[in-house]
């Protein structure tokens, strides 16, 4: 299917290549997961910048795709049964694209579920905790005199980094020698601690034994480097 007229997002963000996966995103830690995995998989896609700074996720057009008003979201014109499918939530999209291509997710059932549990570790723990730390150490939360919220999220962020560090002691990637969507889901969130949040010293990042080298390996992958800049 190349007719995307049933999707209001195609009106606000017209598709020049309607036969390709349509990505609606912004270069946040959650957004770059999807551009990075699309680049890694070599799938044909078209990226649309949804400006979260201008509240474009709260327009009726975008809400028709994701009623939760968050990027990223996709429309795949060639979904299951050759029918179009629209998806939101970055973890769900990563799983869908891995299963669509049979890549970045182990074929062995036990290892597949082990990978999925680490994907969920990112979506339910790392993302929310790191994001809250950023709010309190970089953005409006800085003005709050009561430092207990900052201390809470800082302590939890350091604990989660420790969990990740322990896991990586067993191999170069989350799943040992196998690079998966679990790794891709985490790069952007660890990266933002050192960049935008300026929290490298705050979280004692350089005291970690394995996470820094893992992050460096991940960011050095050409697909990840390209994905971090998409959408421009």
pLDDT in tens, 21-44: 999 999 999 999 999 999 999 999
What structural domains and CATH numbers belong to the chain? 9-101 (3.40.30.10), 109-221 (1.20.1050.10)
Rounded CA separation 181/145 (Å): 39
The predicted pLDDT at position 137 comes to 86
Residue range 168-200, pLDDT digits in tens? 999 999 999 999 999 999 999 999 999 999 999
Strand pairing of 73-76 and 85-88? antiparallel
As beta bridge partners, residue 14 has none
| Sheet (strand 73-76) strand order | 45-49, 21-25, 73-76, 85-88
Rounded CA separation 44/96 (Å): 15
> Average pLDDT, whole number, for the chain?
95
Residue range 42-61, pLDDT digits in tens? 999 999 999 999 999 999 99
The predicted pLDDT at position 36 comes to 98
């Amino acid at each position: 299917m190349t007719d995307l007229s049933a999707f209001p997002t195609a009106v606000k963000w017209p598709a020049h290549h309607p036969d390709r996966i349509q990505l609606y995103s912004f270069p946040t830690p959650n957004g770059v997961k999807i551009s990075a995995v699309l680049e890694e998989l070599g799938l044909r896609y078209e990226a649309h910048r949804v400006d979260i700074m201008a509240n474009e996720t709260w327009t009726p057009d975008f809400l028709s795709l994701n009623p939760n008003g968050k990027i990223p979201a996709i429309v795949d014109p060639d979904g299951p049964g050759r029918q179009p499918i629209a998806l939101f939530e970055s973890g769900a999209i990563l799983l869908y694209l891995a299963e669509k291509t049979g890549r970045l997710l182990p074929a062995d059932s036990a290892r597949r579920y082990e990978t999925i549990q680490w994907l969920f570790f990112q979506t339910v723990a790392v993302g929310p905790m790191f994001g809250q730390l950023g709010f309190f150490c970089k953005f409006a939360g800085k003005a709050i005199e009561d430092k207990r919220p900052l201390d809470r999220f800082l302590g939890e962020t350091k604990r989660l980094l420790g969990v990740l560090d322990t896991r990586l002691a067993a191999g170069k990637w989350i799943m040992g020698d196998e690079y998966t969507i679990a790794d891709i889901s985490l790069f952007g969130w660890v990266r933002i601690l050192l960049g935008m949040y300026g929290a490298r010293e705050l979280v004692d990042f350089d005291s970690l034994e394995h996470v820094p080298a893992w992050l460096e390996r991940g960011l050095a992958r050409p697909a990840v480097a390209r994905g971090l800049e998409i959408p421009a």
